[in-house]
């Protein structure tokens, strides 16, 4: 089993198990435990079209793992395959060490929250939440107890008799969440559940979902294309592209040390500055940028002079104007976006190259056409090779 399709080493931590971990992971007491969810060599085909290729992943019990990527990358297909809504072509899926890809949906003990609320419009809140319990022939007193507990967890106690039409969008999504957790599933699947909500409600529901996941200790797999959601909610992020895994890591790992140029650009955006290694002093490399200027970058391994590389630096790592330190690039302001105490600058640095800086305002707001310096620390750079993989 492997962490990623690439050979670049990936640090391992709480959510997805490290490469080679197989079916087990070491607990604090030295014993072995099975992953909550495990995918082994999953391929999913639709005729000749390959939606998911060579997908292997193990997820620790009680963790919150996000599948992140653009539309069409295969993240929702993977989620639906756990639930049994999509058949896999090759490989196997296990939950708690038990293979499930060959058993019916209703035997998988999965809770699923859809992008649409998927509530029964003519059923009461109570009947919507209790639906799965009634299907499992749970006694009525126990149904009442569990429904009440679930509604308390989503902060909607006393709403049992209401219809979905009497609730706001955020409240309806809470009911959908209550319905998914009421029967205490082994795994909670969340398929872009916040996309239909307004910005303020999305932020509130992020907090609520994460809080409920921690309180219940349930293993959660969350699908989104929203980078901010992934960074703020996840223990681990699985970045996907074109049906494959690009990188697995904690939010800090995938943001600060993107494994590929795709991850760097998709997750939080990044400045990509191609160039050639002009000189090397140990692990410090001077890069002659194609934009006509030079920067210094720290490399985890000694580079060869003349090697083609791309310097990757996040907009938040840049300083501008009189506060510019470290590497200094001379430029001219192309555009300015005022954000209150901060601003986003697009700055031309030569040869048609524009660098983006997201920074605190230094005294005053720089205007379009104004000459300005851009600075960043050599340690803030991530270097990519010619194929777009992080040099590590």
pLDDT digits (tens, 9 = 90+) for 312-323: 999 999 999 888
Task: Single out the residue in 238, 265, 292 at which a domain terminates.
Answer: 265
Task: Decide: residue 371, CB within 10 A, 0-12 exposed, 13-18 middle, 19+ buried.
Answer: exposed
Cβ atoms of 296 and 309 closer than 8 Å = no
Instruction: Determine the pLDDT at residue 13.
Output: 35
Placement of tokens 């590929």 in the chain: 260
Instruction: Determine the pLDDT at residue 53.
Output: 96
The reply to whether the predicted model has a pTM over 0.85 is: yes
Please indicate, yes or no, whether residues 201 and 287 belong to a single structural domain of this protein. no
Please indicate, yes or no, whether residues 192 and 281 belong to a single structural domain of this protein. no
- Does position 289 have pLDDT exceeding 80, yes or no? yes
| Residue 155 located in a structural domain | no
Please indicate, yes or no, whether residues 286 and 317 belong to a single structural domain of this protein. yes
Please indicate, yes or no, whether residues 246 and 376 belong to a single structural domain of this protein. no
Q: In angstroms, rounded to a whole number, what is the distance separating the alpha carbons of residues 319 and 299?
A: 21
- Spatial neighbors of 179 by CB under 8 A, at least 6 apart, are 119, 128, 129, 131, 132, 150
| Residue 42 located in a structural domain | yes
| Residue 190 located in a structural domain | yes
Number of domains in the chain: 2
- Spatial neighbors of 350 by CB under 8 A, at least 6 apart, are 291, 292, 293, 331
Please indicate, yes or no, whether residues 224 and 346 belong to a single structural domain of this protein. no
Within 10 angstroms of residue 270's Cβ, the number of other Cβ atoms is 23
Please indicate, yes or no, whether residues 72 and 220 belong to a single structural domain of this protein. yes
Please indicate, yes or no, whether residues 346 and 238 belong to a single structural domain of this protein. no
Please indicate, yes or no, whether residues 285 and 259 belong to a single structural domain of this protein. no
| Residue 176 located in a structural domain | no
Extract the tokens encoding 41.
């060599």
| Residue 11 located in a structural domain | no
Instruction: Determine the pLDDT at residue 117.
Output: 79
Mean pLDDT calculated for residue range 320-337: 91
| Residue 88 located in a structural domain | yes
- Does position 7 have pLDDT exceeding 80, yes or no? no
Q: In angstroms, rounded to a whole number, what is the distance separating the alpha carbons of residues 263 and 120?
A: 39
Task: Single out the residue in 209, 242, 265 at which a domain terminates.
Answer: 265
Please indicate, yes or no, whether residues 243 and 360 belong to a single structural domain of this protein. no
| Residue 9 located in a structural domain | no
Please indicate, yes or no, whether residues 332 and 224 belong to a single structural domain of this protein. no
The helix (H) or strand (E) run that includes residue 376 is strand 371-376
The whole domain housing 302 covers 271-384
State the CATH number of the domain containing residue 300.
Answer: 2.40.50.140
The dihedral formed by the CA atoms of 217, 221, 225 and 226, expressed in degrees to the nearest 10: 0
Task: Single out the residue in 265, 291, 314 at which a domain terminates.
Answer: 265
Extract the tokens encoding 68.
């992140």
Please indicate, yes or no, whether residues 215 and 229 belong to a single structural domain of this protein. yes
| Residue 162 located in a structural domain | no
Please indicate, yes or no, whether residues 286 and 378 belong to a single structural domain of this protein. yes
pLDDT digits (tens, 9 = 90+) for 212-237: 999 999 999 999 999 999 999 999 99
Q: In angstroms, rounded to a whole number, what is the distance separating the alpha carbons of residues 148 and 310?
A: 56
State the CATH number of the domain containing residue 241.
Answer: 3.40.50.300
Instruction: Determine the pLDDT at residue 269.
Output: 84
pLDDT digits (tens, 9 = 90+) for 69-106: 999 999 999 999 999 999 999 999 999 999 999 898 88
Helix spans in 136-257 (H): 140-153, 169-181, 199-216, 227-233, 251-256
Partners of 38 in beta bridges: 58, 94
Cβ atoms of 288 and 294 closer than 8 Å = yes
């Amino acid at each position: 089993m492997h962490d990623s399709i690439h050979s670049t080493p990936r640090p391992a931590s709480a959510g997805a198990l490290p490469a080679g971990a197989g079916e087990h992971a070491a607990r604090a007491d030295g014993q072995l435990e099975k992953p909550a969810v495990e995918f082994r060599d999953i391929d999913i085909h639709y005729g000749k079209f390959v939606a998911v290729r060579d997908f292997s992943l193990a997820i620790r019990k009680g963790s919150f793992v996000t599948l992140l990527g653009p539309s069409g990358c295969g993240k929702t297909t993977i989620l639906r395959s756990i639930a049994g809504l999509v058949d896999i072509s090759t490989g196997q899926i296990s939950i708690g060490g038990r293979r499930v890809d060959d058993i019916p949906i209703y035997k998988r003990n999965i809770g699923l929250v859809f992008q649409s609320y998927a509530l029964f419009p003519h059923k009461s809140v109570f009947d919507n939440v209790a639906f799965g319990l009634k299907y499992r022939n749970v006694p009525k007193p126990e149904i009442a107890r569990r429904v009440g507990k679930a509604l308390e967890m989503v902060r909607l106690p006393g709403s049992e008799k209401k219809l979905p039409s009497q609730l706001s969008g955020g409240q309806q999504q809470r009911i959908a969440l209550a319905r998914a957790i009421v029967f205490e599933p082994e795994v909670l699947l969340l398929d872009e559940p916040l996309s239909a909500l307004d910005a303020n409600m999305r932020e509130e529901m992020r907090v609520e979902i994460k809080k409920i996941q921690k309180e219940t200790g349930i293993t959660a797999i969350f699908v989104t294309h929203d980078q901010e959601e992934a960074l703020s909610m996840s223990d681990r992020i699985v970045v996907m592209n074109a049906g494959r895994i690009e990188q697995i890591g904690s939010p800090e790992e995938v943001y600060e040390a993107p494994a590929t140029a795709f991850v760097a650009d998709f997750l939080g955006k990044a400045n990509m500055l191609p160039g050639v290694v002009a000189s090397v002093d140990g692990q410090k490399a001077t890069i002659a940028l194609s934009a006509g200027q030079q920067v210094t970058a720290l490399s985890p391994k000694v580079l060869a002079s003349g090697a083609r590389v791309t310097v990757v630096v996040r907009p938040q790592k840049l300083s501008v104007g009189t506060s510019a330190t470290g590497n200094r690039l001379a430029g001219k302001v192309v555009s300015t976006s005022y954000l209150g105490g901060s601003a986003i600058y697009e700055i031309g640095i030569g040869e048609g190259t524009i660098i983006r800086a997201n920074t605190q305002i230094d005294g005053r707001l720089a205007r379009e056409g104004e000459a300005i310096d851009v600075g960043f620390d050599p340690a803030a750079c991530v270097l990519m090779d010619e194929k777009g993989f992080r040099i590590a």
